[in-house]
Protein backbone atom coordinates (compact mmCIF):
# COMPACT_ATOMS: atom_id res chain seq x y z
CA UNK A 1 0.00 0.00 0.00
CA UNK A 2 2.74 2.42 0.85
CA UNK A 3 4.43 1.85 -2.53
CA UNK A 4 1.14 2.64 -4.33
CA UNK A 5 0.78 5.95 -2.49
CA UNK A 6 4.27 7.03 -3.40
CA UNK A 7 3.70 6.20 -7.06
CA UNK A 8 0.39 8.07 -7.07
CA UNK A 9 1.98 11.15 -5.51
CA UNK A 10 4.93 11.15 -7.90
CA UNK A 11 2.54 10.80 -10.85
CA UNK A 12 0.27 13.67 -9.73
CA UNK A 13 2.97 16.28 -9.20
CA UNK A 14 4.35 16.30 -12.75
CA UNK A 15 0.81 16.42 -14.20
CA UNK A 16 0.04 19.50 -12.08
CA UNK A 17 3.22 21.20 -13.28
CA UNK A 18 2.37 20.48 -16.93
CA UNK A 19 -1.04 22.14 -16.52
CA UNK A 20 0.44 25.41 -15.21
CA UNK A 21 0.26 28.41 -17.55
CA UNK A 22 3.63 29.87 -18.56
CA UNK A 23 4.44 33.24 -17.02
CA UNK A 24 3.34 36.25 -19.06
CA UNK A 25 6.31 38.64 -19.29
CA UNK A 26 4.09 41.59 -20.30
CA UNK A 27 2.12 44.07 -18.24
CA UNK A 28 -1.70 43.99 -18.53
CA UNK A 29 -2.78 44.64 -22.12
CA UNK A 30 -5.84 46.68 -21.13
CA UNK A 31 -3.92 49.32 -19.16
CA UNK A 32 -2.76 52.33 -21.18
CA UNK A 33 0.02 52.71 -18.59
CA UNK A 34 1.45 49.36 -19.75
CA UNK A 35 2.27 50.88 -23.14
CA UNK A 36 4.59 53.63 -24.34
CA UNK A 37 2.70 55.28 -27.22
CA UNK A 38 5.22 57.21 -29.35
CA UNK A 39 4.36 59.96 -31.82
CA UNK A 40 6.67 62.09 -33.96
CA UNK A 41 4.88 65.22 -35.18
CA UNK A 42 3.08 65.85 -37.43
CA UNK A 43 1.90 62.23 -36.93
CA UNK A 44 -0.85 62.08 -34.30
CA UNK A 45 -2.99 59.59 -32.42
CA UNK A 46 -4.05 58.31 -29.02
CA UNK A 47 -4.53 55.19 -26.93
CA UNK A 48 -7.46 54.20 -24.73
CA UNK A 49 -8.20 51.18 -22.58
CA UNK A 50 -10.97 48.77 -23.53
CA UNK A 51 -12.44 46.02 -21.38
CA UNK A 52 -9.95 43.37 -22.54
CA UNK A 53 -7.26 45.39 -24.27
CA UNK A 54 -6.27 48.71 -25.69
CA UNK A 55 -7.37 50.70 -28.73
CA UNK A 56 -4.70 52.62 -30.61
CA UNK A 57 -5.99 55.28 -33.00
CA UNK A 58 -3.87 57.01 -35.64
CA UNK A 59 -5.38 60.35 -36.66
CA UNK A 60 -2.52 61.76 -38.76
CA UNK A 61 0.35 60.13 -40.68
CA UNK A 62 3.41 61.67 -42.30
CA UNK A 63 4.82 58.92 -44.55
CA UNK A 64 7.18 57.40 -41.96
CA UNK A 65 5.53 54.38 -40.34
CA UNK A 66 7.54 54.39 -37.10
CA UNK A 67 6.35 57.94 -36.34
CA UNK A 68 3.37 56.20 -34.68
CA UNK A 69 4.33 53.17 -32.60
CA UNK A 70 3.56 51.62 -29.25
CA UNK A 71 5.57 49.26 -27.06
CA UNK A 72 5.73 47.41 -23.80
CA UNK A 73 9.23 48.16 -22.53
CA UNK A 74 11.89 47.10 -20.02
CA UNK A 75 11.70 43.44 -21.00
CA UNK A 76 14.61 41.28 -19.85
CA UNK A 77 14.76 38.92 -22.81
CA UNK A 78 17.62 36.42 -22.91
CA UNK A 79 19.98 35.98 -25.85
CA UNK A 80 19.16 32.83 -27.85
CA UNK A 81 15.94 32.14 -25.91
CA UNK A 82 12.76 31.44 -27.88
CA UNK A 83 9.59 33.34 -26.97
CA UNK A 84 5.98 33.12 -28.08
CA UNK A 85 3.82 36.23 -28.43
CA UNK A 86 0.05 35.83 -28.71
CA UNK A 87 -2.73 38.39 -29.03
CA UNK A 88 -6.08 39.14 -30.60
CA UNK A 89 -6.39 42.01 -33.07
CA UNK A 90 -9.24 43.77 -34.83
CA UNK A 91 -9.87 47.03 -36.61
CA UNK A 92 -13.15 48.73 -37.56
CA UNK A 93 -11.73 49.15 -41.09
CA UNK A 94 -9.10 46.95 -42.78
CA UNK A 95 -5.59 48.19 -41.93
CA UNK A 96 -1.97 47.09 -41.93
CA UNK A 97 0.47 47.18 -39.02
CA UNK A 98 3.73 45.59 -37.90
CA UNK A 99 4.55 43.53 -34.81
CA UNK A 100 8.18 44.00 -33.78
CA UNK A 101 10.57 43.22 -30.95
CA UNK A 102 13.66 45.35 -30.52
CA UNK A 103 16.03 46.92 -28.08
CA UNK A 104 14.78 50.00 -26.28
CA UNK A 105 17.87 52.17 -26.66
CA UNK A 106 20.03 53.63 -29.40
CA UNK A 107 20.38 51.83 -32.13
CA UNK A 108 16.80 50.53 -31.76
CA UNK A 109 17.60 47.32 -33.67
CA UNK A 110 15.13 44.50 -34.03
CA UNK A 111 15.91 41.33 -32.11
CA UNK A 112 14.31 38.52 -34.08
CA UNK A 113 10.65 39.46 -34.57
CA UNK A 114 9.14 41.51 -37.40
CA UNK A 115 5.74 40.57 -38.81
CA UNK A 116 3.76 42.54 -41.37
CA UNK A 117 0.10 42.01 -40.45
CA UNK A 118 -3.40 43.16 -41.30
CA UNK A 119 -6.51 43.56 -39.17
CA UNK A 120 -10.19 43.83 -40.01
CA UNK A 121 -13.60 43.67 -38.31
CA UNK A 122 -13.11 39.95 -37.75
CA UNK A 123 -11.03 39.25 -34.64
CA UNK A 124 -7.80 37.46 -35.57
CA UNK A 125 -5.85 35.38 -33.09
CA UNK A 126 -2.15 35.81 -33.77
CA UNK A 127 0.73 33.68 -32.46
CA UNK A 128 4.41 33.96 -33.33
CA UNK A 129 7.48 32.25 -31.91
CA UNK A 130 10.87 33.92 -32.32
CA UNK A 131 14.41 33.54 -31.03
CA UNK A 132 15.79 36.68 -29.38
CA UNK A 133 19.11 37.75 -30.89
CA UNK A 134 21.11 40.89 -30.13
CA UNK A 135 19.19 41.68 -26.92
CA UNK A 136 20.06 44.33 -24.33
CA UNK A 137 19.76 43.45 -20.62
CA UNK A 138 16.42 44.79 -19.29
CA UNK A 139 16.13 47.15 -22.31
CA UNK A 140 14.02 45.22 -24.82
CA UNK A 141 10.56 46.01 -26.11
CA UNK A 142 7.73 44.45 -28.07
CA UNK A 143 4.88 46.22 -29.77
CA UNK A 144 3.36 47.64 -32.90
CA UNK A 145 4.33 50.08 -35.66
CA UNK A 146 1.10 51.81 -36.71
CA UNK A 147 2.02 54.86 -38.81
CA UNK A 148 1.40 53.50 -42.30
CA UNK A 149 -2.21 54.68 -42.32
CA UNK A 150 -4.94 56.37 -40.30
CA UNK A 151 -7.38 54.27 -38.32
CA UNK A 152 -7.72 52.20 -35.17
CA UNK A 153 -6.31 48.89 -34.01
CA UNK A 154 -7.59 47.03 -30.96
CA UNK A 155 -5.22 44.59 -29.23
CA UNK A 156 -6.53 42.16 -26.60
CA UNK A 157 -5.16 39.38 -24.41
CA UNK A 158 -1.52 39.90 -25.37
CA UNK A 159 1.01 37.56 -23.79
CA UNK A 160 4.73 36.99 -24.16
CA UNK A 161 6.03 33.71 -22.74
CA UNK A 162 9.14 31.59 -22.91
CA UNK A 163 8.51 29.11 -25.73
CA UNK A 164 8.19 25.47 -24.76
pTM: 0.87
Report the domain count for the chain: 1
Q: Average pLDDT in the 36-65 region? A: 97
CA nearest neighbour of 120 among 158, 157, 148, 88: 88
Model pLDDT for residues 77-95, shown as the tens digit of each residue: 999 999 999 999 999 999 9
Chain centroid, CA 84 distance in Å? 9
Residue 2 lies in a domain: no
Residue 134 has pLDDT above 60, yes or no: yes
> Quick one: pLDDT at residue 41?
96
Whole-number Å distance between alpha carbons of 109 and 119: 25
Domain-embedded: residue 3? no
The answer to whether the Cα torsion of 69, 142, 132, 86 is positive or negative is: negative
The answer to whether residue 46 sits within a structural domain is yes
Compute the average pLDDT of residues 97-108.
97
Q: What confidence tens digit (pLDDT) does each residue in 58-74 have?
A: 999 999 999 999 999 99
Kindly indicate the confidence band of residue 138, based on its pLDDT and cuts at 50, 70 and 90.
Answer: very high
CATH code for the domain of 112: 2.60.120.260
From residue 143, how far is each of 69, 75, 121, 133, 136 by CA, in Å?
8, 11, 21, 17, 16
Asked, for residue 19, whether it belongs to a domain, the answer is no
Q: Give the Cα separation of 81 and 130 in Å (integer).
A: 8
Question: Is 8 within a domain?
Answer: no
Q: Which domain holds residue 79?
A: 24-162
Amino acid sequence: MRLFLLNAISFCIPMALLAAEPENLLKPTNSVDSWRFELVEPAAGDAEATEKGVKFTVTEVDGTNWHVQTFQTDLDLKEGQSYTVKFKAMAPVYRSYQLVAGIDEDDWREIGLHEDLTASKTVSEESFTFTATGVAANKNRIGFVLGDEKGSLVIEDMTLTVAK
